[in-house]
A and B are shown apart, each in its own frame.
Chain A
């Protein structure tokens, strides 16, 4: 996904001379093309995430369109107060791109995990929270985020994620994309667990459970229209995300459901547990530990759907 980001931002910067890219001392060689083409619009602001956000705020105030890129956990946790005060308070158009969000950096250990980033950013007024399912969605969402008048967070994977779409989808922020249809269960997935989610859906389908899948690429603002329809029409709504069950997409949908008494369907939230993942291991191992494999998710959904 990071390659798609580098490629897309380079293309977009050609069309809009106001785009400025800030990197928190990561992306070695990733932005070589960008740097070569727009030397005055790329800055490595160093290992100083708090400052990077403040600088981005100043660039936006000065009439530019800054895009900030670093590892998700550093961008969000270290610089949270700057995001709140410098970006959300004055509502400035800055795009924060968090790479390796969720467990993309699993093997680097819990300092690099970001399974609470959506929870904290979703609570901030004026913030838009985006999580593309694949590189194509990332490209569309990045372009759309740059049109916003306020701050946004694009939580992306790292590298080598399989493509979900065959071409660049037409995307509107706040409107989920239907990836497959089905009338018994609806699965809402935000982010890079989409390939597994689609496998879960086809496994369920093979045993007669008709399952629809939506890419909830926008977690805030939530697609409430879709939720209203799904909670009326299906018996079970499932959320899947590489994020804590506290406060992420699942949390957002649970809040919505609590506010809508007429919502009939039951809700199952799948995500990471409320714990620090101490054990070392690659992303696949971490997802296994969290119960976010195709087998475990299928089994959990089957159980919930039978209950």
Chain B
């Protein structure tokens, strides 16, 4: 790990600040979903994977796919902080002509895969992992999905296929915040027990606290499974994490924060 846990927490708070400001300024939704996956994005970019902007085109780099594309602001904040594109781009987020739209667009620096429609990241990640193995590389692929995304059939097609190919350099993180757009994710579909489902599909399935950045970093750096299984981190999270009046309140799937709400939220995120 290159950064200390305290530094990672500071980065996470700063990303939350950016996410809140972007949502307020552009009037874009999915704030709760963007806040719940911050530690996972931080772990990927600052603690786990080789995602050096200087070598973006180099195939030996690791790959991170934000399959839950509606959390784009979290990804954008991370990419800007990492210097993969200029921080100034954030000012034009979601404005006409900006490369940074409400969902990630391939061709934007640091973004390979079009996400926003759910259930796409895992199969593409499987293809990337397979490509590495075919070409004898040892890079890793990490796919961040949402719990609601597990409604999609393509997720389970991929869940069946990846273990059959023993793609043990593939890691999936599931942001299990217990909500999807209009209901509890365990009620809309029979999602629970989620870890057991993935385990039964042949994955090294681990339950983690999705806000415990040190634990996430640990698992992203864990040696590949000796039995060849791909890894899934079923990460328990809180939707709207980090802002008391947003936590576990699904209204913030769509609500846009007012300027006074942003001020109150930022006060809770101190020190920045």
Contact = CB atoms under 8 A, between A and B. Distances in A.
Instruction: Say whether A associates with B.
Output: yes
Interface residues of A, number: 29
A300 interface: no
Interface residues of B, number: 32
Contacts, number: 103
Given A50-B153, A51-B157, A90-B112, 13 more contacts: A20-B131, A46-B161, A51-B158, A54-B123, A54-B154, A58-B128, A59-B131, A62-B132, A62-B135, A82-B154, A85-B114, A86-B113, A86-B123
B66 to A, nearest CB: 14
A63 interface: yes
- Chain A binding surface SS class: helix
B120 interface: yes
B160 A86 contact: no
Interface string B123-160: 11111111111110000000000000000011001101
Interface in A24-80: 40-41, 43, 45-46, 48, 50-64, 66
Interface in B150-188: 153-154, 157-158, 160-161, 165
A256 interface: no
Contacts of A81: 117
Contact of B107 (A57, A82, A85, A90): A90
Contacts of B105: 89
Contact of A20 (B106, B120, B134): B134
A156 B251 CA distance: 50
B22 interface: no
Contacts of A45: 161
A55 B120 contact: no
B200 interface: no
B134 A40 contact: yes
A61 B130 CA distance: 11
B59 interface: yes
Contacts of A41: 134
